Amino acid sequence: MRAAGEDTNPRGSRRSSVRGYPARDRTEDPRSYAVGSYSARNAAEKSRARGLKAVLVCVVLIALALALTLAGIIWFSQNPGSNPDEGAGFLGQPAGEQSAPAASYTITLDVSANPGAALSHSSVSAELGTSVERLPFATLAGMRFTGWYTAPPGDPAAVKVDNASLNVLARDSDQTLYAGFETRPSSTDYDNPGLPILMYHYFYDPENGETGEDANWLDIRLFREHLAFLQSNAYYFPDWEEVVAYIRGEILLPERSIVLTSDDGAESFFRLAAPLALEYGARMTSFIVLIDLLPERLEAYDPTRIFIQSHSYDMHRGGSDGDARILTASYQEIYDDAIRGKEILGTMWAYCYPFGKTNDTARAALSDAGVGVALVIENDRAYPLCDPMQVPRLRINDGTTAEYLASVAY
């Protein structure tokens, strides 16, 4: 036990100064000496370094902003027509994969010489160097539209233009075409060449080991021959709006016009025939029993090239007497069935009778439901002002050659 005042240093009483330095308690942290002055100097140096860095960053940013501004001024001075507010990105560059609109030409359609003539639109346009896709037709009460002409009616220099002869039009300048009309016939016009409407059903591909089940199945190689014949002879494939107007006697169609149809909405149509029709630039229609319609069928192809029309909603089955249901159904049943199909498709330009069967009740119901034309099987051409509810078609069976098409599609 130590007495009062005794040295408490465990290592002895060496508390005197060493080499002139004052004595200190050995329990103190040796880093405590001079730490105050050192910390102050270090903090000052760090502060100055941070200040210099901030100044340098500001200088760099200002220089970059000035450079970009100058670049923008130069760019806009070299591109005076540019508007940075219209979809442009940084420094006027396109915000996406945009390109300047291509130059185009316009064809004005003039019906002024025929008061009362109706026209869906008065002009069509296309990019320079390309053809317009098609020309609309005009209608006039009591008259039949014969086509568009390069000069006003009565001008002997006028050249007729229709959708099968668009290549006669210039593709580099604006122009005007003039509507031509003739008196509409009062009865079925058998002086007209008539319109062949071909009726196909199913298709098979022997190269994939497929065979046809009966005469309704056509070898897809023969179908290719049909299309090649039609393409090489420049046939025109009207849409159903044109066909309906033609049957009503409102318009003439190009001389070499033909319609391709396929019944029953077969899988082989979509898998084999439709792609081939598009390959050859044809339009084609699939008549489908709409209760069996797969929604994706409506979106599978371009609706301006591959048409879906009605084979009834649910009439393609036997009726109470064992014959086609449409022959025993009431007017209201047929009418309601047609309206339901129309709601699905949005329009009902064409209707294909189930099994090709029809009667007075069916024809009245379909006409009242707003069907444009209804097709039967009579193996004949369709003529202007024939009965629109009994429009004939030409049956195509397996083995039908391109030579047969040449005989009926003249």
Domain ranges of the chain: 108-183, 197-408
- Give the separation between CA 375 and CA 196, rounded to whole angstroms: 12
How many residues in total does the chain contain? 410
CATH classification code of 197-408: 3.20.20.370
Confidence of residue 95 (pLDDT cuts 50, 70, 90): very low
Query: Per-residue pLDDT averaged across 208-231, rounded?
Result: 96
The label of the residue with tokens 């009242």 reads 368
Which carries the bigger pLDDT value, residue 45 or residue 76?
45
- Side-chain half-sphere CA neighbours of 349 within 13 A: 16
- Give the separation between CA 268 and CA 146, rounded to whole angstroms: 38
CATH classification code of 108-183: 2.60.40
CA distance to 180, 319, 369, 409, per residue, from 109 (Å)? 11, 51, 33, 30
Quote the distance between the C-alpha of residue 128 and its chain's center: 22
Q: Indicate whether 27 pLDDT > 80.
A: no
Q: Indicate whether 81 pLDDT > 60.
A: no
**Cut 0.85: pTM above it:** no
Mean pLDDT of the chain: 83
